Amino acid sequence: MSSRIPLPYNPKVLELFKNPKNLGKMEDADALAVAGSIACGDMIAIYLKIDKNSQKIIKASFESYGCAANIAASSILTEIIKDKTLEEAWQISWKRISDELGGLPAVKYHCGILAVGALRRAIRAYFKDKPKPNWLPEELTQDEKHALEEEKLIEILSRKIERIKENY
C-alpha cells in the first residue's frame, strides 16, 4: 500500500486523464516539438497540422509520458488550439490551460507550462524555414523561458534522485 497522499485533481483533469482527446502521433504533421524530460516522466510531444494559406491549426495531437495533469493539460491544449490561427495559439498561456482544467494543484503547474512550451516550440519550428511573421518574437518569451527552467529543474532533481538511489 502506498503512503502517498493523492493529489486533489478536479473532475475535469480526471476525465481527460481517463479519456484524453487527440492522443497519438500525427504522421503528416507540419510542425512538432517536445518539452519536458523523459528522466522524470513528464514529457509532451505536440503535433500540428496547419492550413498553409490561413495559418490555422486544423488538427492537433499529442503524446504524453507523464502524470494525469500532464495528459489532461496536453489534451485540453489540443482542443483549445483547433481552428485557431498560429498567432492566436501563440497567445495561450499556461494559466489558461490550468483555468480550463478547473485548476491544477500547485505542484502540477509545470504540466501546463510544458504543454504551452511544446506548443510554442512547434510554432517556432513551423516558421524555421519560412518568413517569420511580425507577431513572432525573435527572443524567447517569459513562458518559453519558464518551460526551459522547468526542464532544467526536472533534470537536476532526477540526477539527485539517482544519486540517492545509488547510495542505498
| Active-site residue (options: 111, 114, 116, 123) | 111
Distance of CA 88 to the CA centre of its chain: 16
The residues, any chain, with a CB within 8 Å of residue 122's CB and separated by 6 or more, are 31, 32, 33, 46, 47, 48
Quick one: cell of 16? Answer: 481527460
| Active-site residue (options: 29, 40, 77, 147) | 40
* Alpha helices (runs of H) in the chain, residue ranges in sequence order: 11-18, 68-81, 86-90, 94-100, 109-126, 142-166
Task: Kindly tell me the sign of the dihedral angle through the C-alpha atoms of 142, 144, 149, 154.
Answer: positive
67 is catalytic: no
Q: Report how far residue 93's alpha carbon sits from residue 80's, in angstroms, rounded to the nearest whole number.
A: 11
Annotated catalytic sites, by residue? 40, 111
